[in-house]
């Protein structure tokens, strides 16, 4: 609505009116011609775990508050990560809350519930199954809307002001006894979710666009890339599906917990059973993937790897940090992590390396669920530069924006930046 007194003179005023009308009547989250839409931010940012333009501090301390700009209580969640867009940080917390925090001031702006009582039609409640619980996934946002998936099968969409656009329930029990943790992914006008199997939803309505029933749900989050100029979905379950219709194109290697990473035409699956596959240059209904190598490593891997400058960095839950040669899969360096892990000596604090490795600017960041974060120097030595601590930990992975890092700890969300 245009109010009296609104300046509309000249071309700039006409353009402003056009923008107001478009915002009022166009429900689609597309940018105007000439504008660059915000890249979706979800699990591991864009899915790669890389934030090359970020410049966060490499030292902080929860006890002295060094470089902790703020912390705010957002509720308990042992696994989910933050997502950031439009000056806001989005997290989900028990029992089924979507919480929006002002990224600058650290104040909760709004909080919305996503329970069976919130569904538009009465539905018999079916609690989330397994130890992963109801809130293990990470929200995804395109800077216009934010999308959330809960372990019980509820999926919802909100605008950045907290107005719900839609909420749906999918009666699809998880395949794993531990429940579900895969996060939603936005790509090419589709919202990808893993609910028993891979589905694509219409981001504007929540209606199903296609099912890919041969691509089973696992704990890791899918990644979208291109093969032969065509958008494809790389599933941690070991499958390649076409993004446009969900058609199964190829099979790779099953990982379950970690997410794929990509460099150029090569897909890396880094876990206890690791492999690299080259995607073909030509599109086809069936893709012939070239396996470049396969390797085996001891332990469990919940932390997804990161690729940088010709090296792959990955850590096991037991506390082994590996630097891999992406051409051969061989470990160039292996060391015990200098923080509590499942592999720590008797009497040491017990912690899990659930958070995934991140590359922010010039440094690697690797955390456990007890509040410890190592900052390492990329390269074949993997030199540890700093060991930082927060009073409470989280299995969630930090996210980086500019000079700041946002990380969960216990019931709190922390913002870390130079004071």
pTM tops 0.75: yes
CA-based angle 400:29:258, to the nearest 5?
40
359 falls within a domain: no
The reported pLDDT for the residue numbered 34 is: 32
Strand partners, 365: 358, 375
Give the mean pLDDT of 284-308.
95
The reported pLDDT for the residue numbered 72 is: 98
The residue segments making up the domain with residue 124 are: 80-217
The reported pLDDT for the residue numbered 3 is: 32
Can you give the CATH number for the domain in which 130 is found?
2.40.128.630
The answer to which of 22-26, 261-265, 375-379 has the lowest mean pLDDT is 22-26
What SS3 class is residue 18? helix
pLDDT (tens digit, 9 = 90+) per residue, 395-419? 999 999 999 999 999 999 999 999 8
- Residue that wins the pLDDT comparison between 393 and 12: 393
Q: Is the pLDDT of residue 33 over 70?
A: no
The reported pLDDT for the residue numbered 30 is: 34
The alpha carbon dihedral of 85, 86, 92, 98 has a sign of: negative
Give the mean pLDDT of 222-249.
96
What SS3 class is residue 376? strand
Q: Is the pLDDT of residue 15 over 70?
A: no
The reported pLDDT for the residue numbered 332 is: 97
Burial class, 77, CB count within 10 angstroms (exposed 0-12 / middle 13-18 / buried 19+):
buried
Give the mean pLDDT of 1-8.
31
Q: Is the pLDDT of residue 125 over 80?
A: yes
Q: Nearest CA to 320 among 331, 308, 309?
A: 331
165 falls within a domain: yes
Q: Is the pLDDT of residue 21 over 50?
A: no
Q: How many domains does the chain have?
A: 1
The reported pLDDT for the residue numbered 38 is: 59
Q: Where do the DSSP E strands lie in 287-403?
A: 290-296, 306-308, 311-315, 320-324, 331-336, 358-360, 363-367, 372-376, 384-389, 399-401
Q: Give long-range contacts, CB 8 A cutoff, 24+ apart: 241-246.
A: 241/198, 241/212, 241/215, 243/187, 243/188, 243/190, 243/200, 244/188, 245/210, 246/198, 246/199, 246/200, 246/210, 246/211, 246/212, 246/215
- Alpha-carbon separation of residue 327 from 294, 322, 330, 345, 379 (angstroms): 11, 15, 8, 34, 15
pLDDT band at 283 (very low <50, low <70, confident <90, very high): confident
- Residue that wins the pLDDT comparison between 36 and 372: 372
252 falls within a domain: no
Paired tokens of 379: 């390269």
128 falls within a domain: yes
- Dihedral (Cα; 25, 30, 34, 37), 10-degree rounding: 140
Distance CA 300, CA 257 (A): 9
Indicate the length of the chain as a whole number. 419
**Mean pLDDT (the chain, rounded):** 90
Burial class, 14, CB count within 10 angstroms (exposed 0-12 / middle 13-18 / buried 19+):
exposed
Are the beta carbons of 83 and 90 closer than 8 angstroms?
A: yes
60 falls within a domain: no
20 falls within a domain: no
Q: Is the pLDDT of residue 22 over 90?
A: no
pLDDT (tens digit, 9 = 90+) per residue, 351-395? 999 999 999 999 999 999 999 999 999 999 999 999 999 999 999
367 falls within a domain: no
190 falls within a domain: yes
- Alpha-carbon separation of residue 157 from 112, 163, 350 (angstroms): 11, 9, 37
CA gyration radius, the chain: 21
């Amino acid at each position: 609505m245009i109010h009296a007194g609104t300046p509309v003179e000249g071309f700039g005023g006409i353009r402003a009116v056009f923008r107001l009308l478009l915002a009022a009547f166009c429900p689609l989250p597309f940018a105007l011609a000439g504008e660059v839409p915000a890249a979706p931010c979800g699990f591991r940012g864009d899915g790669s775990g890389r934030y090359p333009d970020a410049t966060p501090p490499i030292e902080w301390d929860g006890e002295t508050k060094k470089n902790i700009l703020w912390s705010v209580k957002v509720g308990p969640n042992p696994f989910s990560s933050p997502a950031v867009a439009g000056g806001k940080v989005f997290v989900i917390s028990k029992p089924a809350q979507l919480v929006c925090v002002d990224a600058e001031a650290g104040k909760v702006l709004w909080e919305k519930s996503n329970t069976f009582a919130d569904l538009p039609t009465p539905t018999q409640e079916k609690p989330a199954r397994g130890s992963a619980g109801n809130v293990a996934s990470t929200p995804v946002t395109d800077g216009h809307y934010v999308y959330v998936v809960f372990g019980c099968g509820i999926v919802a969409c909100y605008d950045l002001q907290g107005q719900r656009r839609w909420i749906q329930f999918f009666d699809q029990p998880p395949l794993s006894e531990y429940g579900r943790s895969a996060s939603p992914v936005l790509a090419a006008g589709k919202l990808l979710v893993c609910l028993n199997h891979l589905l694509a939803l219409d981001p504007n309505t929540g209606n199903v666009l296609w099912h890919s029933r041969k691509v089973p749900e696992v704990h890791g989050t899918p990644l979208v890339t291109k093969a032969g100029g065509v958008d494809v979905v790389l599933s941690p379950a070991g499958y390649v599906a076409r993004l446009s219709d969900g058609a199964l194109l190829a099979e790779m290697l099953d990982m379950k917990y970690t997410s794929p990473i990509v460099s150029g035409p090569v897909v890396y699956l880094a876990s206890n059973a690791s492999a690299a596959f080259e995607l073909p240059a030509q599109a086809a209904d069936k893709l012939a993937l070239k396996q470049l190598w396969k390797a085996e490593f001891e332990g469990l891997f919940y932390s997804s790897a990161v690729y940088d400058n010709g090296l792959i960095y990955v850590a096991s839950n037991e506390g082994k940090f590996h630097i891999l040669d992406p051409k051969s899969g061989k470990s160039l360096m292996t060391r015990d992590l200098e923080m509590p892990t499942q592999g720590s000596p008797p009497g040491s604090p017990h912690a899990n390396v659930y958070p995934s490795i991140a590359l922010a600017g010039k440094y690697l960041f690797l955390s456990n669920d007890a509040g410890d974060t190592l900052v390492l120097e990329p390269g074949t030595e993997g030199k540890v530069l700093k060991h930082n601590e927060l009073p409470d930990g989280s299995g969630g992975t930090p996210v980086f924006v500019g000079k700041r890092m946002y990380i969960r700890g216990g019931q709190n969300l922390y913002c870390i930046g130079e004071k």
